[in-house]
Structure 1
Amino acid sequence: MFPNVPLYPVSVMQRGGNVPVACRKVRTVHAIMTFNVLVCLLIGLLWNLGPDKPGRHVVQIPSGRFWRPQVLSTAFWNKEQQRLDFIHNPLFLSDGQLPGWLNDTRPRDPCEPDHRVLKQISDYNSLPGRFQDFLLHMRCRTYHMLINQPRVCDEKPFLLLAVKSLVPHFDRRQAIRETWGRRGVFANRTVVTVFLLGHAMSVDHFPDLLEMLVHEADLYKDLLQWDYRDTFFNLTLKEVLFLEWFSQNCPHAKFILKGDDDVFVNTYRIIEHLEGVSETKARDFFIGDVISNAGPHRDRKLKYFIPESVFVGQYPPYAGGGGYLYSGHLALRLYNVCRQVALYPIDDVYTGMCLMKLGLVPEKHDGFRTFDIDEKYRSNTCVYRRLMLVHSRTLREILRIWSWIVHPELVCQ
């Protein structure tokens, strides 16, 4: 159509130049121009999204070091936990050596008295005797088992009732056996009960009840006892030893109710609730009367007193130790992780610490009343039908409330 129009610049054709080379040069110039245009557009975009422009996403550049060496705490428990955190952190285990700030003169045997506490805890000499005893032996987790029931879970119970008790509390244990802790079948589900005991010592003003205890163990085959001093501050040790026993003797129990021997438990209501727990939810299942935003008490007159020389910080969410309900699967995980958490003298707080180590938070359930219910409801039969656990109740109250629960003619709306 245009036979006389050259396909390339006249200057090139006239000079007899290499046409393909000239074409590549033109393309290169176009590419450079396109790149310059894109750069200008990018600069303009960044300029429009200035510091006072809405929608700007600013890349924050750290002003200091990304990784800072951990500072050793002055509180004894916190320092022990820092050491465990370091030991169980796989990032720091390449050479197997602890840093200098964690080296100390602790005894090689964890069950030897740890006399470091006398120097490291400034007010040690002014603490209650049982608190001192706990601190001296808080690294020890191995105690001889005096009474065991290795076959108590042969039937693979749906619900294991683990009751914290003391050696002299024969009457409480018997009341539980006759009511909410009766082993056998509840609502077509197998239930097994065990009582957790330490050693009653004469210094704690307990009489020698060994023969009576041996007879009780032979008769009911539901006692578990370890050779450690059974005190309030050692309830955490009772928790750890129970988890170890569970992992070895009852790992197939589907659920566990852990509670004191002065609580009332509606076993039927608990089983009814557990029927609706799926296999997926059971993996992380833990419910109770949850306490949040709590911290240590500093009043020396209180039972739960913790000095600043021992612990600083806030408590994680935890379920009141009067009673809580969790899955057997989670119990096995708690047993594994509790070795990474230093023993703490308050058992329910310690369990909350172990849950936090697993990345879990206990779930609050209104059926658990570890701080009792309003006085006006305490004689209301139907209230106990709806609840799972109430703390605390006397022996007579437990027997009376249980008769309300099992009464076939009682109808509650």
Structure 2
Amino acid sequence: MGRESTVLGQVVSHYFLLGLSKEEDGTATPKEQSDFLDSYNNLTIKTMVMFEWLGSHCPNTPYAMKIDSDMFLNVHNLVDLLLKAPKQLYMTGMVARNAIVIRDHTSKWFLPYSAFSGSRYPPYTLGLGYVFSLDLPKKILEASAHVRAVYIEDVYVGMCMKHLGFQLTDPPRGDLFRAWGLIPDGTSNCYWTSVITTILQNPNQLSEAWRSYRSMNTSDCLANQRLLRPATA
């Protein structure tokens, strides 16, 4: 378990879910570690373990977020989003819709017809960071018994959601969950106050993002953001 903090009056806990490295034999593992090889091809297993763990250890928690280790996460903006979010059957993040199934054998995301016969995936939230209400893990685990597993974990969660007949929720702003390629050159400190997640390329970038975020004037940034956004009718 990582640190625990209070943000906007809400208690936020941080956990790290680990599998086994190739060197480990599976003995004497900590509670947050499970008995599977921690590799890209096992991310679906890791995600199902996460859902199982959340369901058994966090019965009174309203929401959770799965996030990759190379992500900047603005917890303040995340909590602010969730204070206004639905309490049940809720999942949001970078929602991919009508994504084409990649059949190129050289691609990291190659999937053969034998694993998935359709040409496009059902809607899914990109695995780099997505948020969900805590009534979903148990339901997704139940659906997984009826949905053939694929190794692309975020796609598989989307497949389970489709099986359940549940819709994904688009975030209130499309720029809250960002991919690293969308970060403008010369990003100002205020950028980090406007997002929930952004993927970064290395630990040095992540450290620099946190230094920038901590050094900015939050009130001035939020005021500028309100001025830049057009008023709604």
Give the TM-score category using the shorter length: 0.7 to 0.9
What is the CA–CA distance in structure 1 between the aligned matches of 2:5 and 2:129, rounded to whole Å? 21
For the Cα contact (< 8 Å) 2:20–2:26, is it kept in 1? no
Name the SS for the 1:363 alignment partner.
coil
Matches of residues 359-374 of structure 1 in structure 2 within 5 Å?
359-365=165-171, 366=174, 367-370=176-179, 372-374=181-183
Count of residues in correspondence between the two structures: 217
What residue in structure 1 maps to residue 92 of structure 2? 287
Percent identical pairs in the alignment equals 27
Name the SS for the 1:321 alignment partner.
strand
For the Cα contact (< 8 Å) 1:341–1:354, is it kept in 2? yes
Q: TM-score, normalised to structure 1's length?
A: 0.49
What residue in structure 1 maps to residue 145 of structure 2? 339
Note the residue ranges of structure 1 that are not aligned, 5 or more in a row. 1-151, 153-176, 203-207, 218-222
What residue in structure 1 maps to residue 191 of structure 2? 383
Post-superposition shift, 1:408?
6.5
What is the CA–CA distance in structure 1 between the aligned matches of 2:16 and 2:177, rounded to whole Å? 20
Q: Does 1:201 align with 2:22?
A: yes
Alignment deviations for residues 304-361 of structure 1 (CA, whole Å, 9 cap, x no partner): 1112233210310111110011111223322332222221110000000011112122
Amino acid at match of 1:187: L
What is the CA–CA distance in structure 1 between the aligned matches of 2:169 and 2:107, rounded to whole Å? 27
What residue in structure 1 maps to residue 8 of structure 2? 187
Name the SS for the 1:228 alignment partner.
strand
Matches of residues 217-232 of structure 1 in structure 2 within 5 Å?
224-232=32-40
What residue in structure 1 maps to residue 116 of structure 2? 311
Post-superposition shift, 1:246?
1.4
For the Cα contact (< 8 Å) 1:262–1:392, is it kept in 2? yes
Alignment deviations for residues 16-44 of structure 1 (CA, whole Å, 9 cap, x no partner): xxxxxxxxxxxxxxxxxxxxxxxxxxxxx
Amino acid at match of 2:36: Y
What is the CA–CA distance in structure 2 between the aligned matches of 1:389 and 1:282, rounded to whole Å? 21
Higher Cα Rg: structure 1 or 2? 1
Amino acid at match of 1:370: A
Q: Does 1:268 align with 2:89?
A: no
RMSD of the alignment, in Å? 2.4
Name the SS for the 1:194 alignment partner.
coil
Name the SS for the 1:364 alignment partner.
coil
What is the CA–CA distance in structure 2 between the aligned matches of 1:338 and 1:282, rounded to whole Å? 22
Name the SS for the 2:113 alignment partner.
coil
Q: Does 1:298 align with 2:119?
A: no
Matches of residues 55-74 of structure 1 in structure 2 within 5 Å?
none
What is the CA–CA distance in structure 1 between the aligned matches of 2:154 and 2:189, rounded to whole Å? 29
Q: Does 1:355 align with 2:161?
A: yes
What is the CA–CA distance in structure 2 between the aligned matches of 1:288 and 1:371, rounded to whole Å? 15
What is the CA–CA distance in structure 1 between the aligned matches of 2:217 and 2:94, rounded to whole Å? 30
Runs of 4+ with deviation above 4 angstroms: 208-211
Post-superposition shift, 1:266?
0.3
What is the CA–CA distance in structure 1 between the aligned matches of 2:112 and 2:25, rounded to whole Å? 35
Match of 2:65 among 257, 274, 290: 257
Post-superposition shift, 1:199?
1.2
Instruction: Go from structure 1 to structure 2 and tell me whether the alpha carbon gap of 1:259 and 1:317 turns closer, same or farther (over 3 Å shift).
Output: same
Instruction: Go from structure 1 to structure 2 and tell me whether the alpha carbon gap of 1:266 and 1:352 turns closer, same or farther (over 3 Å shift).
Output: same
Post-superposition shift, 1:261?
0.4
Note the residue ranges of structure 2 that are not aligned, 5 or more in a row. 225-233
What residue in structure 1 maps to residue 136 of structure 2? 330
Instruction: Go from structure 1 to structure 2 and tell me whether the alpha carbon gap of 1:385 and 1:209 turns closer, same or farther (over 3 Å shift).
Output: farther
- Structure ranking higher in helix proportion: 1
Name the SS for the 2:192 alignment partner.
helix
Instruction: Go from structure 1 to structure 2 and tell me whether the alpha carbon gap of 1:196 and 1:253 turns closer, same or farther (over 3 Å shift).
Output: same
Amino acid at match of 1:301: T
Post-superposition shift, 1:300?
1.1
Amino acid at match of 1:331: P
Matches of residues 27-42 of structure 1 in structure 2 within 5 Å?
none
Name the SS for the 1:332 alignment partner.
helix
For the Cα contact (< 8 Å) 1:198–1:225, is it kept in 2? yes
Instruction: Go from structure 1 to structure 2 and tell me whether the alpha carbon gap of 1:383 and 1:244 turns closer, same or farther (over 3 Å shift).
Output: same
For the Cα contact (< 8 Å) 2:43–2:153, is it kept in 1? yes
